[in-house]
Structure 1
Amino acid sequence: MDIAVFSAKPYDREYLNAANAGHHHRLQYFDVPLDIETVSLAANHGAVCIFVNDCADAGVLQALVHGGTKLVALRCTGFNNVDLKAAQDLGIKVVRVVNYSPNAVAEHAVALLMAINRKIQRAYNRTRDFNFSLDGLMGFDLNGKVVAVIGTGKIGRVFTKIMLGFGCSVIGYDKFPSAEFEALGARYARPKEIGESADIISLHCPLTPETYHIIDASTLARAKRGALLINTSRGALIDTEAVIDALKSGQLGGLAIDVYEQEADLFFRDLSGTIITDDVLQRLVTFPNVIVTGHQAFLTREAVTTICETTLQSVTEFETGKPLSNEISAS
């Protein structure tokens, strides 16, 4: 099948080519993201393969149909960038990667937590200048601290296991409680209790209308003063302006994010030689107690291998008329 792969990076090409050895699809790679300006590139391709910041809204989907596309294959788990109702109305099938490596994302969240707590980035920058002063590098023991996990799906549960291994107490919140989460030795708590008692808050929930800006000014005002906030899920879970205010006042003790609300025009590219006009991000990175990584939590060999193999398997299922194992729809 002819597949137009958008937002294709070198690792996408390498791992998709390797996975395609068993499928023999015809892959055409485009560095640019899918949007209304680039959708014409997909003409005469039966499928498009897209990533987290590609746009598949109603207008783009309509254009895809006119070009002959019948399948949208997301090489990720989240699908907030796809208008599923429009896809359904247009007869376009949508598939995603339901499970690639919860360990990859959870472990990155832990890495961010350790780095922001123990001031690793500041220490690294100092020692490169042969400054071995320890002033300002004080952290705290994780043992005995309360960690709140917002979203207790596969990734949230792996993160929970790691935190329990550090000797933390873990409380959680999820619209759909999981017996597996409680079986680990964690417990669910009311949102008010989470704010009052959590030393660390880690976000692992999907972005939906209900979770949009789940961390806002009111949430932060109720939080335990000095708490650390970790986000490896979706940028728009956080109201970034409110977080900046909380950092300035000291209400929030530190922030470590792998995602950003306005990342679509920034992440996955080298902008080191350009002027960044996003004033919010510019302000955010000036804080010494903030770490930003560029949506790399998924980026392990194991995870990318599974992502590519699952994506191409879904295309093969569609091409051969088999049931779509990883289909998502509006209903």
Structure 2
Amino acid sequence: MNMKIAVFSTCSYDQEFLEKFNTGHKVVFYEQSLSLLSVVLTKDFDAVCLFVNDRADYEVLEKLKDNGVKLILLRCAGFNNIDLEAAEELGIKILRVPAYSPEAVAEHTMAMMLTLNRKTNKAYNRIRDGNFSLESLMGFNLNGCKVALIGTGNIGKALYKILKGFGCKVVAFDPYPDENLISEGLVYANLKDTLCDAEIISLHCPLSDQSFHMINEQTLKFFKKGAMLINTSRGGLINTSDIIKALKSGQLGYLGLDVYEQESALFFHDLSNEVIQDDQITRLMSFPNVLITSHQGFFTREAMQQIAEITFANADAFATGAAMPNEIKP
């Protein structure tokens, strides 16, 4: 059975890959994100396909059900933007893409570390202006430095392998330690001991009630003064106000963000001709030791292909009544 699927938050690359790997479903693309205002577009659709900044709270889910939607296809791994209990109550199934090229995010994380450390972005701009000075471009050796890895799922595991190649001393925090990684030499510790004395802290855990604002005024006190923090996971892991204070005081020496707590109004859009209304991100952008990218860690050809293939495999499984290993339940 082929379904009628409404795809929200569509960019040109989404449409390119979803069209290429469609298994026969009727797909309609919308640039808008799903919200209480745009949910009217879902009338008479069997399913909706959502990304990280689409909203599916109780009100939206009720409207989806009224419009005949029976399935939410997430073309991402995270699901903190979905009210799982409400979906189950309303009888709407949720299927996700649990893993897609974790190496893509891990490699982007490493690129952010290297850029902040060796200041290649500043060097590039200097050279273009004819300035060949090395003043203020000094970095530090990654070989031998302590890196705190917060979360050792698929992405954390991929980053660990990269960091080992650089000769870093990696210590990890995860409520569920990976025995295979322990056998490879990874050391696990509690959160405080993992953060202490680390030159670099990298976040790779899902956003939940337990992990919300896990980097805050209190945990920042465990950081080595001048340490680097990288977040390519979820924006809500960080208390932005506390991070700004830590940057101003020098407690935090470098910050790399591929995600941001209020990113839904900013990321994936061209705002170059507009006044950005978010005071916190404009403050962050003013720091010389902050690097921000627009949730592009996943963005490789390989990852986009896997996302499209798994999304349609999920749709096929639902349509045919087959097993659905990627279903999310409360």
On whether the aligned pair clears a TM of 0.5, the verdict is yes
Amino acid at match of 1:15: F
Query: Structure 1 stretches (4+) deviating beyond 4 angstroms?
Result: none
Inter-partner Cα distance in structure 2 for 1:142 and 1:262: 31
Cross-structure match for 2:90: 90
SS at match of 2:172: strand
Amino acid at match of 1:3: I
Cross-structure match for 2:67: 67
Inter-partner Cα distance in structure 1 for 2:196 and 2:19: 49
Cross-structure match for 1:308: 308
Q: Deviations along 1:229-279, whole A, 9 cap, x unmatched?
A: 000000010111111111111111100010001000000010000000100
SS at match of 1:256: strand
Residues 161 and 184 of structure 1 are in contact (CA less than 8 Å); yes or no, is this contact kept in structure 2? no
Aligned-residue sequence identity (percent) comes to 52
Is residue 253 of structure 1 aligned with residue 253 of structure 2? yes
Cross-structure match for 1:326: 326
Cross-structure match for 1:272: 272
What TM-score results when the alignment is normalised by the length of structure 1?
0.98
1:209-220 to 2 correspondences below 5 Å:
209-220=209-220
1:1-331 to 2 correspondences below 5 Å:
1-20=3-22, 23-330=23-330
SS at match of 1:197: coil
Q: Deviations along 1:136-170, whole A, 9 cap, x unmatched?
A: 11100000000000001110011011111111110
* Displacement of 1:180: 2.0
What TM-score results when the alignment is normalised by the length of structure 2?
0.98
Amino acid at match of 1:69: V
Inter-partner Cα distance in structure 2 for 1:153 and 1:49: 24
Inter-partner Cα distance in structure 2 for 1:156 and 1:272: 33
Residues 122 and 288 of structure 1 are in contact (CA less than 8 Å); yes or no, is this contact kept in structure 2? no
Amino acid at match of 1:159: L
Inter-partner Cα distance in structure 1 for 2:110 and 2:190: 24
SS at match of 1:328: coil
Q: Deviations along 1:53-75, whole A, 9 cap, x unmatched?
A: 00011110000000000000000
Q: Deviations along 1:3-47, whole A, 9 cap, x unmatched?
A: 000000000000000001xx1100100000001010010111100
Amino acid at match of 2:246: A
Equivalenced residues, count? 328
* Displacement of 1:323: 1.6
* Displacement of 1:83: 0.4
Q: Deviations along 1:82-138, whole A, 9 cap, x unmatched?
A: 000000000000000011111000000000000001111111121121111111111
Gaps of 5+ in 1: none
SS at match of 1:282: helix
Inter-partner Cα distance in structure 2 for 1:184 and 1:300: 28
Which stretch shifts more, 179-188 or 195-204? 179-188
Amino acid at match of 2:16: E
